[in-house]
Amino acid sequence: MNFKLETDHKIVFFTGAGMSAESGVPTYRGSGGIWNEYKWEEYACESAFKKNPNHVLNFHELRRIEALKCNPHKGHRIISQFQLEYPNTSIITQNIDGMHQRAKTQNVIELHGSLWKMRCQTDGRKFEDLENGPYANRHCGCGEILRPDIVWFQDMLDEKIVKKTMSVISTCTLFISIGTSASVWPAAGFPKLARDAGAYCIEINPEKTELSSIYDEVIREKAGKGLELFLGGIRS
């Protein structure tokens, strides 16, 4: 690896569906994806929630239950341990399953929200619901039914989260993309933002992506094996 890592460097791990898929978490898109079985128009948009909120909540409750059947894999643990050695490490994830947090990782930015958070659309309050698969409470104290704090189809990304993400990437020294094609904006712009900031950029993905040519180094492996190779390269 043509890069020397120092303890004061700022590192960003950017993870996508491939990171969680290795733990057995069902993916939403692609072959065998959830949206091949379910229509997102009925389960993952604001209009569906307004029409039948409990129908939508039942669907997301099932996603929570399925996620809890899975465990963080060695790649999650490598990132968590790496963060202990290099404290200026941030994780930006497109995943909503909370797997990074279950691996005891800190400084996780969830671009698309979380299965384990709810929000009230009346007063804007957010609630963590971490105990188990079924929701602890489907209603806010004000009486309003809570919706999952997730970016659904036709939703806009949270502007504050996007700004924080861009700020973290634009000041990083090392950018590692794992298990994502990053083909949809704003994620499609993240590697170039890191490159323009002078960061060394690495892609870990078993398949070539549209952005592979942007990276300084490419590791054609799944997340766990790719992170092992990355770690070996850093320490050699």
Which CATH number is 64's domain given?
3.30.1600.10
- pLDDT given at position 73: 97
Q: Assess whether 105 and 77 both reside in one domain.
A: yes
CATH code, 90: 3.40.50.1220
For residue 142, the enclosing domain spans 26-69+115-150
Q: Assess whether 160 and 228 both reside in one domain.
A: yes
Residue 194 to residue 154: CA distance in whole angstroms: 27
Burial-class residue 176 by CB neighbours within 10 Å (0-12, 13-18, 19+).
Answer: buried
Catalytic residues: 112
Q: Give tens-digit pLDDT for 110-141.
A: 999 999 999 999 988 999 998 789 999 999 99
- Residues present in the chain in total: 236
Q: Assess whether 206 and 143 both reside in one domain.
A: no
Q: Assess whether 84 and 44 both reside in one domain.
A: no
DSSP annotation of 208 reads -
Q: Are 5 and 90 in contact (CB under 8 A)?
A: no
Q: Are 80 and 104 in contact (CB under 8 A)?
A: yes
Q: Assess whether 33 and 14 both reside in one domain.
A: no
For 13, the 3-state DSSP assignment is strand
DSSP annotation of 153 reads B
Q: Assess whether 45 and 55 both reside in one domain.
A: yes
The pTM of the full predicted model, rounded to 2 decimals, is: 0.95
Q: Assess whether 86 and 202 both reside in one domain.
A: yes
Q: Give tens-digit pLDDT for 31-56.
A: 778 998 899 999 999 999 999 999 99
Q: Are 66 and 26 in contact (CB under 8 A)?
A: yes
Q: Assess whether 165 and 55 both reside in one domain.
A: no
